[in-house]
A and B are shown apart, each in its own frame.
Chain A
Amino acid sequence: MTLDSKLGGSKPGGSPAPLMDRADERLKDQSGLAGSVSAFIDRVRSGDLGSLPVIVGLIVISAIFQYINPVFLSANNMVNLLFDCSTIGVISLGIVCILMVGEIDLSVGSVSGLASALLGVLWVNSGWPVAGAILAALFTGAVIGSIYAFLFNRFGMPSFVSTLAGLLAVLGLQLYILGSTGSINLPYDSPLTNFGQILVMPDWLSYLLVALIGASVLFTRMRNATRRQAAGLSASSTGAAVLQAAAITALIGLVVIYLNQSRGIPWMFGLFVGLVVLMNYAFTRTQWGRAMTAVGGNREAARRAGINVKRVYTTAFVLCATLAAAGGVLAAARLAASSQQAGTGDVNLNAIAAAVIGGTSLFGGRGSAYSALLGIIVIQAIASGLTLLDLSSSLRYMITGGVLAIAVIVDSLARRSRASHGRA
Chain B
Amino acid sequence: MADSTHGAAAEAVLSLRNISKHFGAVQALTDIELDVHAGEVVALVGDNGAGKSTLVKILAGVHQPSSGTMTFEGQQVVLDGPSAALRLGIATVFQDLALCENLDVVANIYLGQELSPFALDEVSMEIRAWTLLRELAARIPSVREPIASLSGGQRQTVAIARSLLLDPKVILLDEPTAALGVAQTAEVLNLIERVRDRGLGVVMISHNMEDVRAVADRIVVLRLGRNNGIFYPDTSHNELVSAITGASDNSVSRRASRRAGVDNQPVPGANP
Q: How far is the CA of A298 from the CA of B148 in the complex (A)?
A: 12
> Cβ of A7: which chain B residues have Cβ within 8 Å of it?
135, 194-195, 198
Given the known inter-chain contacts A3-B135, A7-B198, A304-B60, please indicate yes or no for A290 contacting B143, CB distance below 8 A.
Answer: no
> Cβ of A224: which chain B residues have Cβ within 8 Å of it?
123
Given the known inter-chain contacts A7-B194, A12-B134, A301-B100, please indicate yes or no for A286 contacting B119, CB distance below 8 A.
Answer: yes
Q: Verify B114–A298 contact, CB threshold 8 A.
A: no
- Write the chain B residue with the least CB distance to A281: B119
The minimal Cβ–Cβ distance linking B99 to chain A, given in whole angstroms, is: 6
Interface string of B103-121 (1 = CB under 8 A from A): 1000100011110011110
Q: How far is the CA of A285 from the CA of B148 in the complex (A)?
A: 22
- Write the chain B residue with the least CB distance to A298: B100
Q: How far is the CA of A180 from the CA of B48 in the complex (A)?
A: 68
- Write the chain B residue with the least CB distance to A306: B83
Judged by a CB distance under 8 angstroms, whether A346 is at the interface is: no
Q: Verify B142–A27 contact, CB threshold 8 A.
A: yes
Judged by a CB distance under 8 angstroms, whether A45 is at the interface is: no
Q: How far is the CA of A4 from the CA of B97 in the complex (A)?
A: 24
> Cβ of A297: which chain B residues have Cβ within 8 Å of it?
100-103
Tally of chain B residues near chain A (CB < 8 A): 52
Judged by a CB distance under 8 angstroms, whether A21 is at the interface is: yes
Q: Verify A423–B149 contact, CB threshold 8 A.
A: yes
Number of A-B contacts (CB under 8 A): 138
Q: Verify B132–A3 contact, CB threshold 8 A.
A: yes
> Cβ of A307: which chain B residues have Cβ within 8 Å of it?
83, 111-112
Q: Verify B135–A298 contact, CB threshold 8 A.
A: no
Q: Verify A286–B102 contact, CB threshold 8 A.
A: no
- Write the chain B residue with the least CB distance to A228: B123
Q: Verify B148–A423 contact, CB threshold 8 A.
A: yes
Q: How far is the CA of A287 from the CA of B121 in the complex (A)?
A: 10
Q: How far is the CA of A1 from the CA of B167 in the complex (A)?
A: 9
Q: Verify B103–A422 contact, CB threshold 8 A.
A: no
> Cβ of A1: which chain B residues have Cβ within 8 Å of it?
167
Judged by a CB distance under 8 angstroms, whether A154 is at the interface is: no
> Cβ of B162: which chain A residues have Cβ within 8 Å of it?
305
Partner of B143, one of A4, A21, A291: A21
Q: How far is the CA of A157 from the CA of B83 in the complex (A)?
A: 25
Q: Verify A365–B100 contact, CB threshold 8 A.
A: yes
> Cβ of A12: which chain B residues have Cβ within 8 Å of it?
130-131, 134
Interface string of A355-390 (1 = CB under 8 A from B): 000000000011000000000000000000000000
- Write the chain B residue with the least CB distance to A294: B100
25 contacts between A and B (CB under 8 A): A1-B167, A2-B128, A3-B131, A4-B134, A4-B135, A7-B194, A7-B198, A9-B135, A10-B134, A20-B130, A24-B140, A285-B120, A287-B118, A288-B117, A297-B100, A297-B102, A298-B101, A301-B99, A303-B82, A304-B60, A304-B92, A307-B111, A365-B102, A366-B102, A424-B102
A285-B118, A290-B103, A306-B82 known, 11 other contacts, Cβ within 8 Å? A3-B132, A7-B135, A7-B198, A26-B141, A27-B141, A231-B127, A233-B127, A293-B103, A297-B100, A304-B94, A305-B112
